[in-house]
């Protein structure tokens, strides 16, 4: 069940570049905050 959801999520993500961009932006922000704190 969970594996199936992951598969659907992966497909949906690859179909939607906007979501990928959003995730990348969030990751960058998180990394920057982490660097500042570290």
Cα(9)–Cα(32) distance, rounded to whole angstroms?
Answer: 27
Number of structural domains found in the chain: 1
| Residue 9, token pair as written in the block | 């999520």
Q: pLDDT by residue (tens digit) across 4-19? A: 999 988 888 778 788 8
> Residue 38: its pLDDT value, please?
66
The domain in which residue 20 lies consists of: 2-37
Average pLDDT, the chain: 85
User: Cβ neighbours of residue 12 under 8 Å, at least 6 residues apart?
Assistant: 19
């Amino acid at each position: 069940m969970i594996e199936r959801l992951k598969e659907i999520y992966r497909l949906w993500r690859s179909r939607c570049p906007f979501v990928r961009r959003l995730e990348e932006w969030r990751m960058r922000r998180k990394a920057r905050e982490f660097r500042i704190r570290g």
